[in-house]
Structure 1
Amino acid sequence: MSNSEKELKDQIQKLVLDSIQLDKELREKYQIGDKFRFIHDRLDALRVRIEEDLKEMAQEIEKKISRLAEDETTVYVYLFNAQGLAFPTWQKMVNPSVFYEYSVNRPLYADKTQIESFIRSRSNKAQHGYISVVIKKSDILPVPEGTEQPKDPVGSPLIKIREGSLKFNRMLSFTYQGSDYVVNEAGQLVKKQSE
């Protein structure tokens, strides 16, 4: 479903919730009690159905994001956080406003095992994490002729990508201390549900 359809469902959900609240207030005000109960029951059934539809829609969106097209690949962006022991400090490092910079100034890996190997080699692992992001294969820049492939301190190859090719809406997960997290609708990092 598109964003406009989701917005429409959200508006309908709000309307139904407001109607349920108004029904409750009017029943109390006019002392109707359980008369015309079918109105309340229908509104409640509608509320449940909308909530189920919104949940399904969120799952569909997540599946679409995690599916790669033939011309796409996943890259892994290394993040360092001096205050990494305090998990909430990672939140500001995983928000849309910094993704453009990450395409230019962060070590990038094409292989997940290589970034995990690098993090394992670090002394304070709580200060290290990475994000997995889907990009177009054509956004990976070739190593210029006559230059050597850049490498990290443990000898794993690093890649360079086209400036601005990292998009927040294509982020698959943030990995920290072996656990994967995603950004929820409220913009907060939450542990990724196992599939």
Structure 2
Amino acid sequence: MPVPMDAFDVVRPALDCLDLLPEPVAAALRGWRGTVPVEQFHYVDTDPAIADTAVLVEHHGAWLLEQSANCVVVAGKRGGAVTLAACVVLSHTRVDVNGAVRRQLGARKASFAPMDTAVGETGMEYGGITPIGLPADWPLFLDAAVADTPYVLIGSGGRRGKLIVPGKALGELPGAMVVEGLGCPKTAAEAG
């Protein structure tokens, strides 16, 4: 099976591209202390016009869909308290916000966070949010399938560029919890 690096002409070590990344992402890479060596993190330059997963996959090949992951910011509410968290699932699935996420947060209600909240709290661009460099006190829910993927294509924190990292490394990020069933199949309308 091909790996995400095979889809791109130029793949560089992420540490050589820190100036292309938002500061929270660059700082997380500079301070990486996981068991997976940071040298296994890669950066690919991509056109912001094809940053959305469906367009990127159409441009680089459908096989990439199985090895790409999306990171979304969610808000769990209980009483007057709101808890922000991030969820990472493979791109051919969707986040089970009202089931798995709500239960993990112990919330009465969970929904996707508003765009201005997601951008303001992460310091990243909408459409490029990555689990690397999120606020350290946030829960980070990672679907088990993502953690089991040898190399996964994720956002870089901006709409330009992507990171390719071992799935195992994402499980070593601050606040990370691997959750079975976090990603569920997309409906025909969502997949389409």
Is the structural similarity TM-score above 0.5? no
The two structures have a TM-score, normalised by structure 2, of 0.22
Question: Which one has the bigger helix percentage?
Answer: 1
Q: Which has the larger radius of gyration?
A: 1
Higher relative contact order (CA 8 A, sep 6+): 2
